[in-house]
Amino acid sequence: MLVLYPFIYGFLTSISLSLLGVSLGELFTVFLPRVRTMVVVLYVGLFAMSFDFVSGYTGYLSFGHAMFYGIGAYFVVLVGTGKIPGLPAETPFMLIIVLAGVLAFLAALAVGAVSFRLTGVYFAMVTLGFAEVAHVFIRNWSYVGSNPRDGVGVVGRDGFAVGIPGIDALQFRLGRLAGDSFENVLGTGIDLGAAEVSFYAVGAVVLVCYFAMQRIIHSPFGRVMVAIRENEERAEAVGYNTFWYKLGAFGISGFFAAIGGALFAGYRRSVAPENTFDLFVTADALLAAIIGGFGTLAGALYGHLFHEFLQGIFTTESSGLARFLRDTLSEGILSAGVGEFTVLEFINVFIDGRAELYLGVIFVAFVLFVPRGILGSLRDRLGGPLAETIPERLRRYRR
C-alpha cells in the first residue's frame, strides 16, 4: 500500500467530482498526508522503530534517544559542510549514512555501558541526562556554525543521493529543491517529482533497515531481548548475561536511529538543536511507538503516520482543515455562534494548528485504554502478526 502511495494520493486529490457542493479532490487534499509529508513519516518512522526496537522489546525506556538521531543528522551536515577532517564534502551519502550509524552505535555502547547498570526510572533518567548533555553541547558548540542555537545548513554541495555510489544512473538525490525528478520514467508516461523520488529513495533505505531490525528480533538474540522485558531475573537465571544483550540492542538501536537522523538531514539539508537532540524529538518516537503499538516495530511507523496525518489535517497551511472550512463554509455559518464566540473563532482556536493538543489527548487515551497500541491490539485480536493472519483470514472468507 505504502509503495503506491504517491500514485494513490495523486489520483485521489485530482478527482474533480463534487459531493454536496464539496470537491472530493479537495477533501482528500485536506485529509491525506502529502507525499513530502510521507517522506517525513518514513525517516521519523525509522527513528521511532529504532526506539521501539530497544524500548519496546527490552522494556528499557531510552529517554535520550534523540541523541542518536541528532548524531546522525549533525554528522551528515558536518560532512556536507566539510567540517569532518578526512571526509570531503562530496563524500557519497550512502557512505556518510553508514559512518553516522557506526558513530551512533559507538556512542550508544558508551552511554549504555554505564546506563545499563540501572533499571526503570533510573535508566530513563540517566539516558535523558546524557542526551541533555549532548543537547546543551550542540546548542553552544560554535564549531558547528556561527549561531549554533539556530542550527546549520548545507550549501554548495550536490543533493545527498541514495543509491550505488559511482554509478550516476543508480543515484537518486534527495530534497525538495536539491532532489532529482524524472519525467516519463522508462517510457511509462509516469512523472516523478522531487517529493516522489525522495519518497522512494528514503523508503528504500527505511525498508532495508526495517527488515534488518525485524531479522534481529526474530533471531535468538531478539528472543533474549523479549525475555529481558518479560522477566529479566529469569533470563539471567537461565544463564544469559543480560547486560551484553541489552548493550547490543541499545547499540543496534542507536545505529538505526542515526540512519533516521541522517536521512532527515540528507532530505532537509539543514539541522537545528530543537529538531534533533531535543527531548521533544524523543517524545515523537515515544508517541509513535505507543500509539502504533509498543513492541511491534512496524507499529511505530504507523504511529508516526497517524501523527503526521493529524498534523496534516490541523495544519495552518493551505492544505489544512481550517483553511478548507473557512473557504468552504458560507459567511452565515462562519459568523454564527454565541456572542463573540463564532464558528470562525472556533475554527481558529480549536482547529488551526492544534494537532499537538489532540495528539497529546489521544496519547493519554492510548496509555489509559489501549496500552497495546493500534498494531498490538490488532495482533491480539487476530492472534498473530498481520502478514501471517490476514491471508489466513482472507482464505477463510473466500471459502
Q: Which of 89, 133, 204, 207 binds another protein (CB under 8 A)?
A: 133
**DSSP classification of residue 322:** H
- Residue 152 binds another protein, judged by CB under 8 A: no
CA 216 centroid distance within chain = 20
- Residue 114 binds another protein, judged by CB under 8 A: yes
- Residue 234 binds another protein, judged by CB under 8 A: no
- Residue 359 binds another protein, judged by CB under 8 A: yes
**Whose CA is closest to 71, among 249, 260, 209?**
260
Within 13 A of 144's CA, how many CA atoms are on the CB side? Answer: 24
- Residue 143 binds another protein, judged by CB under 8 A: yes
Grid coordinates of 162: 541514495
Contact criterion met (CB below 8 Å) for 154 and 270: yes
CB of 278 to another protein, least distance (A): 9
CB of 343 to another protein, least distance (A): 16
**Whose CA is closest to 144, among 296, 26, 7, 273?**
273
Q: Select the span of 92-100, 137-145, 194-202, 390-398 touching another protein (CB under 8 A).
A: 137-145
Residues 31-70 that bind another protein (CB under 8 A): 59, 61
Alpha carbon distance 202, 172 (integer Å): 10
Q: Which of 11, 137, 211, 244 binds another protein (CB under 8 A)?
A: 137
Q: How many of the other CB atoms lie within 10 Å of CB of 309?
A: 17
CA 32 centroid distance within chain = 17
Cα-Cα-Cα-Cα dihedral sign, residues 229, 231, 232, 236: negative
Q: Select the span of 14-22, 110-118, 192-200, 258-266 touching another protein (CB under 8 A).
A: 110-118
Residue 200, burial from CB neighbour count under 10 angstroms (0-12, 13-18, 19+):
middle
Alpha carbon distance 140, 120 (integer Å): 31
CB of 359 to another protein, least distance (A): 7
- Residue 397 binds another protein, judged by CB under 8 A: no
Which CB, 198 or 311, lies closer to another protein? 311
Q: Which of 11, 14, 110, 120 binds another protein (CB under 8 A)?
A: 120
- Residue 357 binds another protein, judged by CB under 8 A: yes
Q: Which of 32, 124, 174, 310 binds another protein (CB under 8 A)?
A: 124
Residues that bind another protein (CB under 8 A): 59, 61, 114-115, 117-126, 128-130, 132-133, 136-137, 139-143, 279-280, 283, 286-287, 290, 349, 354, 356-357, 359-361, 363-364, 367-368, 371
